[in-house]
Chain A
Amino acid sequence: MRRRGARGKGPRDAPGEGGFWLSEGAFPLFAACLAAGIFAGTQLYYVHRTGTFSDVAVTALLKAGIDTGSYGAAAAFGAGFLFARVVEGPMVGILDIGGSLQTGVGIGIPALLLAAGVTAPLEHFWLAVPTGAVLGALIGAVVLAVRRATVHSAGGGGSTFGADVMMGAGNAAGRYLGPLVIIAAATASLPVGLGATLGAALFYRWRKPLTGGAVLGAMLFGVFFPITGK
């Protein structure tokens, strides 16, 4: 339905700045989709012990709450991150999924609900999806409201609040992962380190980004020479 609407304006490779997919109104919709999935993932974890979209350490906070009934740590951690990211997101133009949705909606809000004794959205899948969607849409709307009050307001026009500086730093940070993978591989075991180095060198020679080569090389050598682990 929505796709047809966007197509109706004519087939294009990239919608222009006015198209639905790049419009401001579409943002809460995308946030709602993502948040619905993440919240439902936490529901899956609550019932079946698999499926959260957070890292092990953060999931452990929620698990500690489920096991002991004390949700303070998970709720504070998740809610604090959610707040920080909702303030930061509109300023720089990128809402951080990890802090706002994965940690906030996926861990913080479920912990708050469970602490308050509300377990229904975490027990039933058909309740979890709309709950997450509403939360995501709300977060999206708040982000747009903050954006309108600051970056896009009459007084804020003409400033990008350093978004270009942060884009540059983000791009630079991405390039560091390749060498880091090689160093981690060589620390883990010597054959895996050699594999990562070889893979990265070959990828560089073929003019491909070296991170992919390092990862593949480490994996390949790891299959033939398993890391003698702890």
Chain B
Amino acid sequence: MSSLLYAVGHTTVSIALGRTATVALESMVIGALIGFGAGAGVARMFHAPTVQGMGAFRTLGELNACENDPAAHFSFGLGFFFHAWASAVGTGALTSDVDHRIVPHGAAALSMARRGSRRAAGTLHDPRRMAVVGAAVGLVLVTVLNTTAAAVPHSLQQVAADVLGPASAWLINPVMPVVFWMAAVDAGRRTGGWGTALGGLAHVVMGNAVPGIVLGIVVGKGVDELGWTRVTRVLCGAVVALFAVSAVLRGVDLQLLHQMHADVPRWLRQIHHCTGTGPAT
């Protein structure tokens, strides 16, 4: 039945009931899974570095910026919910904000409101509560995003796309690189040096300086506190390997030679052709 409707769905624009039901059921499972994982991972971030967390530094900062206020968490999540909704309508991409912002803030707001307390210890910082509430938030959220994307008012879509789109793009580049860069520079001469070198290189190789600055802080602080031991040498080797592999995978070597008006050797071009790597154009 549903496989028949799959075939029909490719040719007709109208949404068959069977297709919507399939999408809704699968979305519920998906939403519960991502909500559970993201909720627990985000709560564990507050116990890092002793506990391995999962999320992002910007998620951590944004959660802290809400100062344990349920209303602030809710409105923050709501804004990005409309952003994700607008994106889902046009492109089918729910955006990375679902895991990074909407689920964590939604789960935080709900658990704080339910407990009626502003103590983060029993709510935002508790992996068990965040995982369970996160699963519930994710279940509803992903189902709504995948099945009702076309229902969002056009004016709200426009605001979300024109306001939150640029604001979060600016945050990722250049605001976050600059903030991390200044933190590295202020953390000591060695950390600042490594951060600057790897940060600039990372923007060249990966298109964003933050991963490089973070690795620069890791190497610089590691060497500051431990000296050049086996651990720091392995670390440094891994960083060098990472940059080399990323450069080849993204075809930065070809681009660099091209922009220096040098000829690209045949063998290099051949390697990229065989492995299917190269600049994404």
The answer to whether B66 and A212 have CB atoms under 8 Å apart is: yes
Q: Does B245 contact A (CB under 8 A)?
A: yes
Bound state CA distance, A229 and B57, in angstroms?
33
Bound state CA distance, A140 and B263, in angstroms?
42
Interface hits, A160-215 → B, CB 8 Å? 160-163, 165-178, 180-181, 183-185, 187-189, 192, 196, 203, 208-209, 211-213, 215
The answer to whether B249 and A30 have CB atoms under 8 Å apart is: no
Chain B neighbourhood of A77, CB < 8 A:
249-250, 280
The answer to whether B65 and A219 have CB atoms under 8 Å apart is: no
Q: Please give the distance in Å from A191's CB to the nearest CB on chain B.
A: 11
The answer to whether B37 and A31 have CB atoms under 8 Å apart is: yes
Give B38's nearest chain A residue, CB to CB.
Answer: A34
> Which one of B63, B66, B214 has the greatest number of beta carbons of chain A within 10 Å?
B214
Chain B neighbourhood of A98, CB < 8 A:
56, 96, 99-100
Give A168's nearest chain B residue, CB to CB.
Answer: B183
Q: Does B179 contact A (CB under 8 A)?
A: yes
Q: Does B153 contact A (CB under 8 A)?
A: yes
The answer to whether B156 and A219 have CB atoms under 8 Å apart is: yes
Q: Is the interface of B mostly helix, strand, loop or mixed?
A: helix
The answer to whether A184 and B166 have CB atoms under 8 Å apart is: yes
Select which of B36, B96, B250 is within 8 A of A30 by beta carbon.
B36
How many inter-chain contacts with C-beta < 8 Å in the A-B complex?
419
The answer to whether A229 and B158 have CB atoms under 8 Å apart is: yes
Give A28's nearest chain B residue, CB to CB.
Answer: B52
Give B138's nearest chain A residue, CB to CB.
Answer: A37
The answer to whether A30 and B40 have CB atoms under 8 Å apart is: yes
The answer to whether A160 and B221 have CB atoms under 8 Å apart is: yes
Q: Is the interface of A mostly helix, strand, loop or mixed?
A: helix
Q: Does A115 contact B (CB under 8 A)?
A: yes
Q: Please give the distance in Å from B130's CB to the nearest CB on chain A.
A: 9
Bound state CA distance, A163 and B57, in angstroms?
10
- Given A14-B125, A27-B54, A61-B280: A176 and B23 within 8 A (CB)? no
Besides A33-B36, A33-B40, 15 other CB < 8 A contacts? A13-B122, A84-B242, A88-B215, A94-B45, A95-B41, A97-B100, A162-B220, A166-B217, A169-B179, A173-B57, A174-B65, A184-B165, A188-B159, A208-B72, A227-B159
Q: Tell me the A residues contacting B by CB distance below 8 Å.
A: 3, 6, 13-15, 17, 21-22, 24, 26-27, 30-38, 40-41, 44-45, 47-56, 58-61, 70-73, 75-77, 79-81, 83-85, 87-99, 101-102, 115, 125, 129, 136, 143-144, 147, 149-151, 153, 155-156, 158-163, 165-178, 180-181, 183-185, 187-189, 192, 196, 203, 208-209, 211-213, 215-216, 218-219, 222-223, 226-227, 229
Can you list 12 A-B contacts (CB < 8 A)?
A21-B40, A22-B51, A30-B41, A33-B36, A36-B33, A48-B19, A50-B94, A72-B275, A72-B278, A147-B52, A172-B179, A218-B79
